[in-house]
Amino acid sequence: MGQGFEDVFAQYGAILSRVANSYEANEAMQQELLQEIAIAVWQGLSRFKGDSSVKTYILKIAHNRAVTHVANQVKRLDTHQYDHDDLGSDGFASTTHSPEEMSSQHQSLERLLRAVRALPLQSRQVLTLSLEGLSYDEIADVCGLTKNHVGVILKRAKQSIMQEQPHA
């Protein structure tokens, strides 16, 4: 293995964060999931044999960890609803957009994320990997699917998302 964990996380940390965000709506739980993913990547790098790109390999680890996280959350008997009203607490501000524009963009992004999170796990995984720029072959490798099945799942996921989004 040519890259250490620090190098891999520096290069792919943002992608891993987006993976966590696509599987978990609550910000605190997103951070917990990202930590779980980071640990799994750190542990998995020693097993990397170069059969795929590092990006594909760590995304496979990340998505497997995220699927396990979601399955564990579903199994918990003491789950409770998280307050989604605190979505503006990310601390980001822009001087180039009006508050109304920023609010509208934020609402659109939140609708899109809710629609993605509502997809079945396999569809969510395929769509997220596609959005990260992976090819059908790479997605098939990560998900254990055929290339054709990836295309079918991706098409259905996009159709589902488009049905959920209001037309501008």
Q: Residue ranges of the domains in the chain?
A: 1-79, 102-167
On the question of pLDDT at 34 being above 70, the answer is: yes
Q: Give the CATH architecture of domain 102-167.
A: Orthogonal Bundle (1.10)
Q: What is the DSSP letter of 47?
A: G
Whether 48 has a pLDDT exceeding 50, the answer reads yes
Query: Please, what is the average pLDDT of the chain?
Result: 80
pLDDT of residue 145: 92
Least confident of 62-66, 67-71, 103-107: 103-107
148, containing H or E segment: helix 147-164
Give pTM, 2 decimals: 0.59
Residues 6+ apart with CB under 8 A from 9: 16, 38, 41
Same CATH fold assignment for domains 1-79 and 102-167? no
How much of the chain exceeds pLDDT 70, in percent?
81
pLDDT exceeds cutoff 50 at 51: yes
Give burial (CB, 10 Å; 0-12/13-18/19+) of 107: exposed
Mean pLDDT, residues 124-149: 89
Q: Which class does domain 1-79 fall in?
A: mainly alpha
Q: Tell me the average pLDDT across 149-166.
A: 85
